[in-house]
Amino acid sequence: MNKELLKEALIKYIAGIVLVGVLLFVPAGSLKWTDGWIFMASLFVPMFVAGIVMYLKAPDLLRRRLNAKEKEAQQKDVIGMSGLMFLAAFIVAGLNYRFGWIRFPEAVKIAGIIIFLLSYLMFGEVLRENEYLSRTIEVQEGQKVVDTGLYGIVRHPMYSATVLLFLSMPLIMNSPISFGIMLLYIPLIVKRILNEEEVLEKGLEGYKEYKEKVKYRILPFIW
């Protein structure tokens, strides 16, 4: 067992819980915000399970997922803007609870939970299919094009999953204003994908042919 990898994963996991908890509950002004706790559970329980599975079955994949240091300048901008987006969405969700600005119908919140968990399962399947999946844009040594499973439907199923995940978050937190903020993820992910495909086309053998075979990036018949 790699104790250093486990230590790094646990530190980042705990730090994530603390950070998100502060961003949600300090603006909310209360720990009695039920929707906030439901969101925290929906986010961090599956994340813990996924982390344990990767640690036991695919430690190299877990190591790549923990690495968030981008080399591409364009991607650094995307990561920075995404961070600001999450910051704003979480803080506004807490304030929305505190001041009772506007809420979704209960059915929308339930739908958000279902979509979030299904999207997490989709994300897990992508991790299973692609052992080279990293949080950064790079071509790894020995990397091969994956063109089966979800990758046979769209070229970037991980981003398909994250779009659903991120847009369902405000539904769970019951914050329509945060939903509007999270819509900014769409142009950000478009920019990330276009740059990523440039990198892969230059450095990954067979990627040009793969693009001809699988026409759509994240949404079949649309884009």
Which residues of the chain fall below pLDDT 50? none
Buried (b) or exposed (e) across 121-146, using 16+ Cβ within 10 A? ebbbebbbbbebbbebbbeeeebebb
CA distance linking residue 97 with residue 84, whole number of Å? 20
| The pLDDT value given to residue 8 | 92
Q: In terms of Cα–Cα distance, which of 175, 170, 28 is closest to 98? A: 28
- DSSP state letter for 155: S
- Following CA atoms 13, 93, 90, 22 in sequence, which dihedral angle do they give, to the nearest 10 degrees? -60
Number of H helices, E strands in the chain: 9, 0
**How many C-beta atoms lie closer than 10 Å to residue 32's C-beta?**
10
Tokens encoding 81:
């803007």
| The pLDDT value given to residue 9 | 92
| The pLDDT value given to residue 69 | 63
CA distance linking residue 38 with residue 41, whole number of Å? 5
| The pLDDT value given to residue 2 | 81
Q: In terms of Cα–Cα distance, which of 114, 119, 103 is closest to 47? A: 119
Instruction: Report which residue type is found at 127.
Output: L
Maximum C-alpha span of the chain: 54
Q: In terms of Cα–Cα distance, which of 165, 181, 183 is closest to 89? A: 181
| The pLDDT value given to residue 141 | 63
CA distance linking residue 111 with residue 171, whole number of Å? 8
| The pLDDT value given to residue 204 | 85
| The pLDDT value given to residue 58 | 83
Residue in the block written with tokens 């740059």: 195
| The pLDDT value given to residue 117 | 94
| The pLDDT value given to residue 7 | 92
Q: What is the pLDDT of residues 33-59, one digit of tens each?
A: 999 999 999 999 999 998 998 898 888
Delineate the domains of the chain, giving CATH numbers in brackets.
3-133+140-213 (1.20.120.1630)
| The pLDDT value given to residue 199 | 86
Are the C-beta atoms of residues 181 and 92 closer than 8 Å to each other?
yes
